[in-house]
Structure 1
C-alpha cells in the first residue's frame, strides 16, 4: 500500500501523517474545539497507523470516563446532604461559598473578560496551565484547593521536565485566573498557589551571544543568498530586535528621514503585540540592517508587510521564522547560538562602544518603565 494513503484517523500533509478525530457532540463542552488534530511525526503509513490507533484508544478510554461522570450516581438519594452538595468529581464541600466556581468555570470567566483582543497564545496559556491543575488535582471549586494540591501540582510540573522559568509562568497564570475569578465572584480567597517553593533556576541555561566572527560569517552569507529570509536575519543581527518584532514590521514601519538615514518604528499591531510597553521604540538601521531595509523597500509587491511569508494569517508566525532561521544558522555559529543570540550580541556591542546605558536599553526595548522614542546618535 502506498505510504501516502491515509489510514484510519489520519490525513497526510506535505508527506507527514497527522491524527484527526471529531469530538462527540455530548463531550464538546469539555473541549475548546470540535476536532482533535496533531502531527504523528512520521512519513511511514505503518507507524502512523500504530500511533493513530493508540491515540484513538486513549481517547475512547477517556471519553468513557467523561460519560461516566455525567451519569446519575447510584444511591445518590442516600447521601448525607449536609456533608456533600452535588455529585461526581465536581463535588462542592459544605464549607465552600455558594458563589464559588469550579476552576474550569474560572478559566471561562477570566478569558471572557480579560481575553478580549488578546492573542490566541493568551487563551491557550490560561487553558493549558489550569488544565495541568485539573489533570493533577481535579476540577475543584476555587476555595477547595489546598496547599497540598499546589505542592502536588508543582511536583507534577517538575515531573513533566519543565524548567524553573516555565514553572514560574504556569504558576503565575494559575494565580491570575484564580485571583481574578475570585474577585469577580466576590470570594475571599487565600490562594494556595502563591508562595510555592521550587528551584527557579532548574533547567535554565544562559542565552549564548553570537560571537563577532560568527556574526560576520552569517552576515556575509546573507548578502550572498540575498532573499527575504536572509534580510530578516540581517535586520535582527544589526538591530538586536526580537525576531517577532522584526517579522511583524510593515514597510511603513521602515522610515527614511530627510538626511537619508533609516530607522524602524517598532510599535504594536493587531497581528503582532509587543512584549512590554517599553518595547515600543525607534531603532536605527545601520550596517547590514540598513542593507536589509533597502532591499525590503525596493521590492515591488502588493503586500504592506516587510516579510509577507510570515504574515499570511491574522498573527505573525514568529515561531516558523525562528525554526527556519535557527536551522539555517547552525552551519555558521557555535552550538547553542540562536537568532535570540543576536539580541545579546547587540547589547554587548553597544556596551563595548560605550553607548550610554539608557540609550542601550531604549534601542533594545529592555527598559520596562516606559521610554521615549530616542535613537542612539
Structure 2
C-alpha cells in the first residue's frame, strides 16, 4: 500500500483512490484500529488530492483537541474550593463576567472553526476586514466596541475610496466574525457594526451587456485562435456561466456523450459556488459546444478542463479574468468585461420570451418565492430548447 505522489495520504485500488493515515501512537487508545482508511469515491487524482487534504486537516484538528483533553489543566493542584464565606463576611452578589476576547482572537476562533476547507480568500477577507477595524479602533474586547467606533470605521472605509458594495462586504465579514465569536464564548451582545448607514450605491458602476453582434465577433475570433483561453471565452459566451465556474471545471463535468450535451456545474474543493442555486446543468449549444469538444480532444494531461487556471487547491479566476479582459478590451464597448456575457445571455433569453424562472435556472440566479424551492426544476430538454432559441 504505497502513498501516491500526486495525492498524499492516498493509495489506488482498482482505479479508485483511498484515504489512508496512521493513528498517532499517543492517541491509539481512542481507536480500535491503527490506521484510518476509507474510499474517496473518485478516480480523479485532482479530486482525491483535495479530498485527502481536507480529511487530513480535519484529523489534525480533531487530534489536537484529543491531546488537549487528555492533559490535566495546568495548576489543577493549586485550585481551592470554598463552599462557605469566611466568618463575619457577608455574601455579595456579583455578575458573571465572561473571559475577555479581543477582535484578533475572535478572528482566530472564526477561522479555526469555520475556515476548514474554505478557499484562501475566506481567510484573507476575515483578516483584512477585521484588520481595518483594528487599524481604526484598536484591538479591543469585542463587547467594548461602540456605535461611534462603527461609524468611525465606516468613515475610514469611505475615505479609502471603497465603493458601497465593497463596504457592505467588509461590514458583513466583521459582523459575522464578532457574532460567531460571541456565540462561541457565550456572550449576548448587540453588534455595533450592524445597521450602520452609508450609501450602498456610491461608486458602484453597472456592467454593460455585450451586444449580440459583438458576441458573434468574439466567438469568430475564438474559433480562429483556437487555444485554451479562447475555449474558456467561448464556453462562457454561449452558456452565461460565471468565469470561475468555467475555469474550475473538470473534464468529466462536460457531458458530451449525453443525448443533450451539457455541463454539470457543481461545487469542487478548489472552486466553491456563489449560491446554493448555482448547482445546475447547462446545455451546450453554439460556440460553447464547439469549445467543449476542443477541450475534450486537446486536454490530455490533466483532469481539469483548464489546468492553466486550476489546481487541486484553488481556481485562479482572477488571473483568468485579467488575461481575458485584456484581450477583449479593444474589441468590446466601454465597461464590458467577461462578466458581460452573463448580462448578454439574460437579454438573449428575454428576447426569445423565455420564462424568467427558466432564465434563472440556466444562469444559476436566485428565483424569488418559496414555491421555487420545491422540486428539481426544469428538465434538460426544456433548458436546451430555450438555449438553442437564444443562440
TM-score by length of 1: 0.72
Match of 2:234 in 1: 234
Maintained 8 Å contact 1:362/1:374 = no
Q: CA deviation at 1:96?
A: 10
Maintained 8 Å contact 1:281/1:374 = no
CA distance in 2 between counterparts of 1:317 and 1:360 reads 27
Match of 2:111 in 1: 111
Q: CA deviation at 1:367?
A: 2.0
SS at match of 1:265: strand
Q: Deviations over 1:248-268 (max 9, x none)?
A: 111100112453x31000001
CA distance in 2 between counterparts of 1:176 and 1:373 reads 35
Q: Which runs of 5 or more residues in structure 1 are unaligned?
A: 1-94
CA distance in 2 between counterparts of 1:180 and 1:155 reads 25
Q: CA deviation at 1:313?
A: 5.4
SS at match of 1:282: strand
Maintained 8 Å contact 2:358/2:378 = no
Alignment map for 1:37-186 (pairs within 5 Å): 97-186=97-186
Q: CA deviation at 1:300?
A: 5.2
Maintained 8 Å contact 1:100/1:182 = no
Q: CA deviation at 1:302?
A: 2.0
Q: CA deviation at 1:174?
A: 0.5
| Residue 320 (str. 1) matches residue 319 (str. 2) | yes
SS at match of 1:295: helix
SS at match of 1:361: helix
Alignment map for 1:349-364 (pairs within 5 Å): 349-364=348-363
SS at match of 2:234: helix
Alignment map for 1:24-35 (pairs within 5 Å): none
Match of 1:301 in 2: 300
CA distance in 2 between counterparts of 1:324 and 1:218 reads 15
Maintained 8 Å contact 2:110/2:180 = yes
Match of 2:254 in 1: 254
RMSD (CA atoms): 1.6
Give the total of aligned pairs. Answer: 282
Bigger relative contact order (CA 8 A; separation at least 6)? 2
Match of 2:276 in 1: 277
Rate the CA distance shift 1:297–1:158 in 2: closer, same or farther, 3 A.
same
Q: Deviations over 1:186-239 (max 9, x none)?
A: 111111101100000000011111111211111111111010100000000000
Q: CA deviation at 1:320?
A: 0.5
Maintained 8 Å contact 2:256/2:293 = no
CA distance in 1 between counterparts of 2:214 and 2:299 reads 32
TM-score by length of 2: 0.70
CA distance in 1 between counterparts of 2:258 and 2:265 reads 20
Match of 1:205 in 2: 205
CA distance in 1 between counterparts of 2:287 and 2:208 reads 21
Maintained 8 Å contact 2:175/2:191 = yes
CA distance in 1 between counterparts of 2:243 and 2:200 reads 26
Q: Deviations over 1:31-51 (max 9, x none)?
A: xxxxxxxxxxxxxxxxxxxxx
SS at match of 2:148: helix
Rate the CA distance shift 1:311–1:256 in 2: closer, same or farther, 3 A.
same
Maintained 8 Å contact 2:262/2:281 = yes
Rate the CA distance shift 1:150–1:107 in 2: closer, same or farther, 3 A.
same
Maintained 8 Å contact 1:282/1:373 = no
CA distance in 2 between counterparts of 1:372 and 1:281 reads 9
